[in-house]
Amino acid sequence: MENPSEENPSGETTPDETPVAAPPTQSRIHNRVSCSSMGEIFLPGGDHKVQMLDISSGGCKIKFPLVEDGLSLAEQLPIEFVITKGPASIPGAFIWFSGGMFGCHFFDHILLDVIADLMTGAFRVRLLPKSAQSI
């Protein structure tokens, strides 16, 4: 598993020069499968369309169409969430941000049928309030 507490090892910054956590440089434990599912994330300022770029049993990569839409979240990493699609409810956390993309870690491994379902249709991401987060 990637180390979610590792602070910005690449020295990368956002367009306004704010440092952000960077993608891990370690090799992955789980093989990721490319996908392009569209979904929505519910934020206090409104809902945003997002795209899932890849997924594995241990996590996924989610992209905001506009980098700026993800910057306010990036400043709060790690952030816990729940991804839902149909009966599936997948808790996890955003652990890194780079170029409008968030790296997501699932707290529990998900099954192949859930992966296939997420790859083929719309999903929803709901952030958990800081008071409810375990990180």
* 14 within a domain of the structure (yes/no): no
Beta strand 33-43 pairing with 123-127: parallel
Asked whether residue 122 is domain-assigned, the answer is: yes
Q: Regarding beta strands 46-55 and 79-85, do their DSSP bridges make them parallel or antiparallel, or are they unpaired?
A: unpaired
Domain-located, residue 15: no
The whole-model pTM stands at: 0.75
Domain residues for 115?
Answer: 36-129
**Could you list the pLDDT tens digit for every one of the 135 residues in the chain?**
444 443 444 444 445 444 455 555 555 566 789 999 999 998 878 899 999 999 999 999 999 988 888 888 888 899 999 999 999 999 999 999 998 999 999 999 999 999 999 998 899 999 998 766 665
CATH, residue 44: 2.40.10
What is the distance between the terminal CA atoms of the chain, rounded to a whole angstrom? 15
